[in-house]
Amino acid sequence: MANLKEVKERINSVVSTQQITKAMKMVSASKLRRAQDKIIQMRPYSQKLTAILNNVSSASEGDEDIVFAEKREVKNVLIVPITSDKGLCGAFNSNILKAANLAIVQRFADKNVTILPLGKKAFEFFKKKDNKFIGEFYQVFSEVTFENVRRVADFVMDGFVNGDYDQIVLVYNEFKNVATQNVIVEKFLPMEKIAEEGVIKGADVDYILEPSREFIIEDLVPTSLKIQFYKAILESNASEHGARMTAMDKATENAGDLLKDLRLMYNRTRQAAITNEILEIVSGANALGGK
């Protein structure tokens, strides 16, 4: 059985760890509120922008003239895994890395794959791999703003337009709630057909397009794509704080359970030591009395 000093040291260590995990949970809860507000505000805007683009597109023959919707034989693929900069958030990062790896091995096994990691964890993981690697944008989470994210989106979109990549795939966590994050493997480019089924046809709708449909499409499509890219970053950011909050809450509970066991062990060890001392005193007294 461990001595009292060892058990006491373990108790103090667990108490310190519990204080840290509790503080991290509170910090994550605060950051989650701000991140959640951002993504909740962004979703309606993104959906409305897509709806406007759909309506404008429905007034024409289709989206064949949109450069970002160009379909071509897939030879070169850019995969953008989005992770966090820090750990201690459960399976948040490992799920993304597994999904990205699975896409490389199964979906794009015979393609030329390039990795553009966003987040330090993805950067550290994929820089050790054999795939082509672009590591200049991984610190995007140092400041999650539209201007900062737009630089990455511009680079990705220019790569598609210039023919460097035939398909671009985003891998990120979609925020559902504090305890649930869904891994999304989403084709970012080329765009799917803009006018979805059920959208009212142009012949049935009287649109006034100024200065022209071509100008509006040319302006709306890149903006919509950048908003979609920014939304994926916000989803991942909110998911990270939710996952970390959940992980730290569970760690705090586990530390509490461990403390109960250690304190029980401490009391038993202390009681055993007291009992031994009493037995020694009694044995000594009997020995003296026998003389």
Which residues are tagged catalytic?
89
Q: How many CB atoms lie within 10 A of CB 117?
A: 27
Q: Which of 130, 141, 134 is nearest to 101 (CA)?
A: 130
CB contact at 8 A, 89 and 173: no
Rounded to a whole number of angstroms, the CA Rg of the chain reads 29
Distance of CA 83 to the CA centre of its chain: 5
The length of the chain in residues reads 291
Q: How many CB atoms lie within 10 A of CB 26?
A: 12
Q: Where are the alpha helices (DSSP H) in 59-111?
A: 92-102
CB contact at 8 A, 264 and 107: no
C-alpha distances out from residue 116 to 136, 140, 196, 280, Å: 8, 12, 30, 71
Q: Are strands 132-133 and 76-81 parallel, antiparallel or unpaired?
A: unpaired
